[in-house]
Amino acid sequence: MRKINYKIVKKVNNLKLSNFLKKISGKEFKENRNIKNAPWKYLKEKKIKFFFIEVNKDIVGVIVLINFKFLKHLSFLYIIKKFRMKKLGSMLLDKYFLNTKKIKTVHVIKSLKRTLSFYKKKGFIINKKNKNHLIKKWILRCQQFNKKTFKKRYLLYHANSISVF
C-alpha cells in the first residue's frame, strides 16, 4: 500500500469545507452534507473539536469529538470513499479519540454493518442495558436532546473505558 501524505488541521475555510461536504455520500449521511446541520453548525463551539485530514490541500476526512467531564463522544467520523481502507479513520481514532481515560462513546446507524464491524475491531461494544451510571446518564442526555436517538442508531462504548469507572 502506497503511503499517503496527509496533514491534520483544526480549521478549514468555507470553500474547502463546502467541497468536502459535496463528496459525502450515502443516504445515511444526507443531513451531514448541509453546512447548517450537525456537526458543522457547531464549528465554533469550544467543547466540540474538529480534526480534518487534508491531502493535496483538499479535505478527505474528519473526526468530530465532544468532550465532557467523564466522557468523550465521537460525534462524526467520515473518510471520503476514495481514501477509505487506507488506515486514515483508524489513525484519527487512535490519535484523537482513544487516547483518553474517559468513557468513550459513539452512535452508529444500525444499517451500517461495515462501520459497526470497524468499531468492534477497535474494542467497542454495543450498549445493551449497561449498568454503569455514567453511561445511563449519557443515554438520558441523548434522549433529552433527541427522543429518536436510539431508534435507528446503537450506542457503542469502548470496553476499556468502562472498567476505569
Residuewise pLDDT in 10s, the chain (165 residues): 567 899 999 999 999 999 999 999 999 999 999 999 999 999 999 999 999 999 999 999 999 999 988 899 999 999 999 999 999 999 999 999 999 889 999 999 999 999 999 999 999 998 877 667 778 888 888 888 888 888 889 999 997 776 544
Contacts 24+ apart (CB under 8 A), 129-132: 130/157, 130/162, 132/103, 132/162, 132/165
Cα 15 to chain centroid, rounded? 22
Which residue(s) pair with 9 in the sheet? 52
| pLDDT of 51 | 98
CATH number of 1-100: 3.40.630.30
Which residues of the chain form CATH 3.40.630.30?
1-100
What would the grid cell of residue 41 be? 453548525
What would the grid cell of residue 40 be? 458543522
Cβ contact 86:4 at 8 Å? yes
